[in-house]
Amino acid sequence: MTDLLKSVLFLNIIVLDGTQGVKKAVKEKIDKTNMPQPIKDAAKKIGAKAASKLATPTTIATKMSQEMPKKMPLEMAEKGMTVTAEAVFQEGPYVVIQLQVQKLNSVLMAEVKALEDKETDWTWLIRLLTWFLSLLGATHQKTLEEEYLPRIVQAKMEPMMNEMLKVRLEEEMKMEATTQVLGEEKQARYFFQKLKEIRKDAKKGK
């Protein structure tokens, strides 16, 4: 559950086109079957046509609003972060996911970062904080991991996560989308402007 006294991040996603990702998923699923190749080829063509008609930006955004809040906490837990994720808005192709870092396992994060191929700002930060934790001792670990570390990491995530999200949608999911990750102080202005644009486009029949 989101802590109302802690800050949050907002992941703004406006789906432009997701048909390529759906076509890719259909193709991969058909390729795994034992059907004769001519039947596979015919099924792929039918699937591609269906994807173009059914995989609209709105249907994809709706699906994302249902799936992302479930998957993000699991993926980030592997990196040592306890987060909450919630779809706080979805209209047409526009979906907003609210993310809050609630706790960091500093030891696990250090281990994960140690496996990376190159030194990054994240690696340096986690090593420094882990060393700082060792100086404080176990009595202060709860405060550090649940209060101090989440604030630092969440603030650092805002500029970094936008690029990560964009790469994931475009390269892994083959989706064209406009993305913007913002803190609370910037979200309202961005949100209302984009919502205005979305509704204007909807009236035009886009």
Q: Rounded mean pLDDT of 3-20?
A: 86
* pLDDT at position 55: 78
Average pLDDT, integer, range 105-118: 54
3-class secondary structure per residue, the chain: CCCCCCCCEEEEEEEEECHHHHHHHHHHHHHCCCCCHHHHHHHHHHHHHHHHHHCCHHHHHHHHHHHHHHHHHHHHHCCCEEEEEEEEEEECCEEEEEEEEEEECHHHHHHHHHCCCCCCHHHHHHHHHHHHHHHHCHHHHHHHHHHHHHHHHHHHHHHHHHHHHHHHHHHHCCCEEEEEEEEHHHHHHHHHHHHHHHHHHHHHCC
pLDDT (mean) for 114-123: 51
**pLDDT tens sequence across 19-37:** 777 767 777 778 788 888 8
Which comes out higher in pLDDT, residue 126 or 13?
13
User: With bands split at pLDDT 50, 70 and 90, how would you rate the model's confidence at 115?
Assistant: very low
pLDDT score at 167: 80
Region 162-174: what's the mean pLDDT? Answer: 79
Task: Tell me if 34 sits within 8 A of 205, measured CB to CB.
Answer: no
The pLDDT score that the predictor gives to residue 135 is 56
pLDDT tens string 124-154: 555 555 555 555 555 556 666 666 667 777 7
Asked if residue 20 lies in contact with residue 48, where contact means CB atoms within 8 angstroms, the answer is no
Specify the pLDDT at position 5. 77
Quick one: pLDDT at residue 32? 82
Task: Please report the pLDDT score of residue 68 as a whole number.
Answer: 92
| pLDDT at site 187 | 95
Each residue's pLDDT tens digit, 37-70? 888 778 777 776 776 677 788 988 999 999 999 9
Q: What is the pLDDT of residue 77?
A: 85
